[in-house]
Amino acid sequence: MNEQKDLYILGIETSCDETAAAIVKNGTEIVSNVVASQIESHKRFGGVVPEIASRHHVEQITLVIEEAFRKADMTYRDIDAIAVTEGPGLVGALLIGVNAAKALSFAHHIPLVGVHHIAGHIYANRLVEEIVFPALALVVSGGHTELVYMKEHGSFEVIGETLDDAAGEAYDKVARTMGLPYPGGPQIDKLAESGNDTIPLPRAWLEEGSYHFSFSGLKSAVINTLHNAAQKGQDIAPEDLSASFQNSVIDVLVTKTARAAKEYGVKQVLLAGGVAANRGLRAALQKEFSQHEGTALIIPPLSLCTDNAAMIAAAGTIAFEKGIRGSYDMNGQPGLELTSYQGLTT
C-alpha cells in the first residue's frame, strides 16, 4: 500500500468579528494559525456591529492570509485545498472570507471547500486529540447552543438545540443589564468565581427527556431581579448574581450533556464554541465526566474555543477527504443548517 501524502489545508474564517487564516496538516496538526480580533472596535457599542465587522475583514483578510503562509514557511503550491466558513454568521462578514477563498482558489487552481462554522468548532477538538466514535459534541457559543451526536467523521445529528437565546447571547444580555463591559461572558465568569449562588433563578429543563435548551426565561428572571431590587432601593452583589446566573446555565448544560452521553453510549464528549472558554463550565464538565467510566471528555485550549481558522481547516480536511468540493457560485449563508457530509457523485 502506498504511503499517503500529507494533506495541507488553508482555512479562512470571517463569520463574525475575527479575521482568521490557518494552515493545518492532515486535519490534526496546526502549521500556522493567525487571528486578527476586532474586539476593541466593537467594545464601545456593547456588541458586534455588522458593518464595522465587514470593513475590518476587508482591511485584514489579505494580511492575515499572508501571515499564515509566512509563519508556515509555505506557498500556495503546497496547499491541497482551501476551506472557508460558508455560514452561519453575519452575511457581510461571511462574504469577505468566501470571496477571498474563491479568488485564491481560481487564481491558484486549488480546490475549494465550504465549511459550516459549527462543524469547525466541533473539529477544533481533533487538533487536540483524535475523535473516537460515537461522540457527542456540546456546542456553546454566542449564537448557538446545541448537542450534536456523531457516529463517524462528518456525521452530525443535532439532538438538542436552543429554542430561543443561545447561552452566550444570554451571558452578553445579562452582562449588559448588569452594566458590565463587552464581551460580557468572561466578566460574569470572573465575578462568579468569588460569588455565592444565593439568588433563586429558574432552570429550564423543558419537557421530560428533552435535550433542547431555553435561556430567555432565565435572562428575563435576572433582568426582573435587578429591576425589582432597584425599585426597593436594594443592592445585589454582582458576584452573587453572576454566580447564581452562571450556575443555572451550567447546571442545565452539564445535566443534559451527561444524560445524552449515557443514553447514546458515546466514547467521547467534545466541548466546542466560544463559551467553552468559560472556566465554570469547564470545571463542572470535568467533575461530572470524571465519574463516567468509558467516556472521555475533550476540552480544547482557550485559543481554539473562540473563532479561528485552524478549526475550519480541520473540518474542511474531512469534507475534502469525503469528496466535497465548493463551486465558484458559493455564497455566504447566514442561516446555514448543520448537515452531515455526503460525498459528491460525479
pLDDT tens per residue across all 346 residues of the chain: 446 799 999 999 999 989 999 999 999 999 999 999 887 788 777 778 888 889 999 999 999 999 999 999 999 999 999 999 999 999 999 999 999 999 999 999 999 999 999 999 999 999 999 999 999 999 998 888 999 999 999 999 999 999 999 998 899 999 999 999 888 889 999 999 999 999 999 999 998 999 999 999 999 999 999 999 999 999 999 999 999 999 999 999 999 999 999 999 999 999 999 899 999 999 999 999 999 989 999 999 999 999 999 999 999 999 999 999 999 999 999 999 999 987 543 3
Q: Is the dihedral of CA 67, 121, 335, 17 positive or negative?
A: negative
Helix, strand, coil % in the chain, rounded to nearest 5:
45, 20, 35
Parallel, antiparallel, or unpaired: how do β-strands 135-140 and 157-161 relate? unpaired
* Angle at alpha carbon of residue 344, lines to 342 and 346, rounded to 5°: 160
Helix 279-289 to helix 184-193 angle (10° resolution) is 60
How many Cα atoms within 13 Å fall on the side-chain side of residue 240? 9
Closest CA to 27 of 271, 276, 319, 341: 319
Whether 313 and 97 have beta carbons less than 8 Å apart is answered as no
Whether 9 and 83 have beta carbons less than 8 Å apart is answered as yes
Whether 140 and 273 have beta carbons less than 8 Å apart is answered as yes
Where do the domains of the chain lie, and which CATH numbers do they carry?
8-123+305-321 (3.30.420.40), 131-299 (3.30.420.40)
Whether 92 and 3 have beta carbons less than 8 Å apart is answered as no
Question: Phi and psi for 12 in degrees, rounded to 5?
Answer: -130, 130
Q: Count of CB atoms within 10 A of residue 43's CB? A: 12
Whether 22 and 33 have beta carbons less than 8 Å apart is answered as yes
Whether 72 and 33 have beta carbons less than 8 Å apart is answered as no
Q: Which residues are CB-contacts of 86 (< 8 A; sequence separation ≥ 6)? A: 94, 98, 114, 115, 116, 326, 330, 331, 332, 333, 336
Q: Give yes or no for a cis peptide into 88 (omega within 30° of 0).
A: yes
Per-residue pLDDT at 15: 95
Whether 147 and 259 have beta carbons less than 8 Å apart is answered as no
Q: How far is 224 from 226, CA to CA, in rounded Å?
A: 5
